[in-house]
Amino acid sequence: MYITVAFLWVSVWRFQDLWPIIGKLQIPILLEVVLGLTLLISLRGPRQIKWTNSRIFAVPFVLLAIMIVGLPFSLWVGKSVTFVIRDFAPSLLLMIGVAVSLRESEDINWIAFVHLIGASVYATWIYLFIPVGTDGRLGELVYYDANDFALLIVSTVPFAIYFLRPVVPAWKRLFALFSLVLFVEMIIKSGSRGGFIAFVVVMGYVVVAFRSIPARLRQSAVIIGFILLTVFGSTTYWNMMRTMLHPQQDYNMTADAGRKAIWKRGVGYMLSHPVVGVGAAAFEQAEGTLSAISREYATQGRGLKWSTAHNSFVLVGAELGIGGLVLFVTMLGTSFKHLARIKYGRGEDPIVSAEDAAFAQTLTASLIGFCVAGCFVSASYFSLLYVLIGLVVAEDSLRSRRLVRGSAGPSTPAPVRGHAAPRDAQRAPQSRWAPAG
């Protein structure tokens, strides 16, 4: 598990970019190799791959297969090959590590907290060393741009809220509160309108549906979040947010290089290449070679920026075809469905604890934030998404193992061969898996 966490820190939170010595020592590659070998020799017992027998877990590998099959048809074969090997395959390895390494709720809590630590370290580094430009936004970040950064932070906000629960040790709650304040400040500094919309949606979910936290506490957390937005948000920031009220004046809605025009062209690439798309990581190549506007600009001696899709769903559809988009949406939809099953209360699911329900709500909020912000960012292949998918699979497999163990629960010893278990041992302790009183 420690290797999985270290790989998470370098894959999602890019510690090697914050401290280049990590990259110079080739630690990310070393961790990738060690994690792969560790998984190969340790897939037994609770780590058996059978516990991850779910459609959610299978979809990313089908997406990988589409990428590989589509390599000969890619508009930029070399870039697609490099992307599959250096970017997407490591994300899937991390997803496997997360999904099969977590055996009990304590493991899930632990990796959730170290993920929060990674996010806080990255955000603190950005806060200290990356200045806000004259346009009111963060300047040149490391690896991610400001919109990417906002998506990552908004998707991690629910993890901070998860550790604000009254049952959590005080020092963890204090760290979570610090992280929440820091995250709100960094959402402001990012100047991302998509990040702002996603934050509002996530906070709305927290108030309405995050029922594992007392209503007064979650309402207070949301109020504090919006107070911080109001207090720390500069005039420039709020002027940027107000532009969403006047879309007819927004270059994203009117310009040839704006998001609306790019999205339309992206749908066109998907429809003209419906089977395997234009190739993994080849959307920008499509912008420069397939689009009618690029040819028109060329005849006029004008240049057109070869831009990414700025939309996770358009990106998948254009690069992997209609089938790829359907699979991607299925993966997200099935994740939400599985998380919705993890309920807490009498008569619903006696093997699910309050902690399980709280973490399921956390993952739901995180995925909501990712999906909303992902409508404005090309984040389809971000490592964070596959960490979240791995956590969903881990939660689901934890429940499956409890079902296989039967109502006796994990604390009941197995019966001696040839003898039945005592009658009392066949009943699950009500206080462990279901609410008492």
**pLDDT tens sequence across 273-325:** 999 999 999 999 998 888 888 777 777 777 677 888 999 999 999 999 999 99
C-beta of residue 278 within 8 angstroms of C-beta of residue 319 = yes
Could you write out the DSSP letters of every residue in 224-267? Answer: HHHHHHHHH--HHHHHHHHGGG-GGG-HHHHSTTSHHHHHHHHH
Report the alpha-carbon distance of residue 108 to residue 250 in Å, rounded: 43
Q: Tens of pLDDT along 238-247?
A: 888 888 888 8
Q: End-to-end CA distance of the chain, in Å?
A: 36
C-beta of residue 75 within 8 angstroms of C-beta of residue 282 = yes
Instruction: Give the percent of the chain with pLDDT over 70.
Output: 86
Report the alpha-carbon distance of residue 426 to residue 405 in Å, rounded: 10
Q: Model's pTM, two decimal places?
A: 0.87
What was the pLDDT predicted at 82?
96
Q: How many helices (H) and strands (E) does the chain have?
A: 21, 0
Report the alpha-carbon distance of residue 278 to residue 319 in Å, rounded: 5
Would you place residue 92 in the very low, low, confident or very high pLDDT band (cuts 50, 70, 90)? very high
- At 39, list the tokens: 């998984």
- Write the single-letter amino acid at 329: V
Report the alpha-carbon distance of residue 27 to residue 33 in Å, rounded: 10
pLDDT exceeds 90 at position 38: no
Which residue stretches of 163-233 are H helix?
170-190, 193-209, 215-232
Report the alpha-carbon distance of residue 382 to residue 85 in Å, rounded: 14
Instruction: Write the DSSP symbol of residue 85.
Output: I
Report the alpha-carbon distance of residue 420 to residue 338 in Å, rounded: 34
Q: What is the mean pLDDT of the chain?
A: 84
Report the alpha-carbon distance of residue 406 to residue 170 in Å, rounded: 34
What was the pLDDT predicted at 45?
54
Report the alpha-carbon distance of residue 245 to residue 328 in Å, rounded: 31
- For residues 246-263, give the mean pLDDT: 83
Instruction: Write the DSSP symbol of residue 87.
Output: I
